[in-house]
Amino acid sequence: MMNLAIDIGNSFTHMALFDKKKVLKKLSFESGLGINLIDGKVRTSLGAYMDKIGQVGLSSVVPLSNLLWNDAAIILFKLTPLTINYKMQLPIKIKVKNPQSLGTDRICNAVFAFKYFKGKENVIIADFGTANTYDVILKNSDFIGGIIAPGISTSAKALNLNTGQLPLFELKDLNPKVPLVGKNTHEAIQSGLLNYPVYATEGIIKGIEKEFKRKFKVIITGGSAGKIRNKLAIKSYYAENAVLEGINIILNYNSAK
């Protein structure tokens, strides 16, 4: 039987169908759709695989969507989804204060990062989305915390809303080859939106290594990662579907118990 991983983010919902570790199908759409639209999109995308799904895993940073997706999974697959949370059995140990406030996307990222290096490396996983998150997982499996900052699209909206004349840039319109020093306002905004997280990321990685007096492997993921991954001067590993992969790992980990 196959696993279906569902990642509900602030802006987009992503789904992936796994046959063991292999991704067979992927689907993405805007978060906040009603159940009828969800039903149509899922049935169209998954088609003949619908009856072959044995487990559904759900990671959500939008609490109001949890009940909707729980009902959708029951209607579509006749399965109650496994909702990711800090209390469940995980291949990592959560060592943060107030773990109930920890986003499930960060838990899934941490699980993926730990398993990516088979527990042999200290890892920082940087997820570039609506928020940019940097999470730290030690090779002894301790998830010790992280950093949260505004993402590119969030920063772009803040600049537009809080100034009188600066235009709004959509992520898709940003040119990764924009010069560091913009020759006009449009170039200057694009440079700031793209280069600020690059240099911030490099500084954050160095700062974490200095604070913990050890080296870390770095994984980058998230919807904005493609815009900045080639700009980073530090060595990093790109993961397109880290949260979804993490959900799949957690599903398999719990079914083996």
Three-state DSSP state, 27: strand
pLDDT value of residue 62: 86
Domain assignment present for residue 254? The answer is no
Domain assignment present for residue 88? The answer is no
Which residue out of 39, 51, 71, 105 is catalytically annotated? 105
Instruction: Identify the domain boundary among 31, 51, 83.
Output: 83
Listed in sequence order, the residues at least 6 apart from 5 whose beta carbon sits closer than 8 Å to its beta carbon are 15, 16, 17, 18, 57, 59, 243, 244, 245, 247, 248, 251
Paired strand residues for 132: 128, 149
**170 and 122 within one domain:** yes
**228 and 138 within one domain:** yes
**218 and 117 within one domain:** yes
**154 and 52 within one domain:** no
**186 and 148 within one domain:** yes
Residue 122: give the domain boundaries: 93-246
Instruction: Identify the domain boundary among 65, 83, 101.
Output: 83
Residue ranges for the chain with pLDDT beneath 70: 257
pTM: 0.94
Quote the CA–CA distance of 112 and 119 in Å, as a whole number. Answer: 10
List the Cα angle 15/19/21 in 5-degree steps: 85
pLDDT in tens, 30-59: 888 888 888 898 999 998 899 999 999 999
pLDDT value of residue 196: 96
Closest CA to 145 of 186, 204, 88, 197: 204
pLDDT value of residue 67: 86
Quote the CA–CA distance of 146 and 43 in Å, as a whole number. Answer: 37
**217 and 196 within one domain:** yes
Strand runs (DSSP E) across 89-160, as ranges?
93-94, 123-128, 131-137, 142-150
**203 and 103 within one domain:** yes
105 included as an active-site residue: yes
pLDDT value of residue 257: 67
**166 and 132 within one domain:** yes
Quote the CA–CA distance of 220 and 142 in Å, as a whole number. Answer: 19
**76 and 140 within one domain:** no
Looking at 133-257, list the stretches that DSSP marks H as alpha helix, in order from N- to C-terminal side.
152-161, 185-212, 225-228, 242-255
The domain that holds 208 is classified in CATH as 3.30.420.40
Paired strand residues for 221: 127
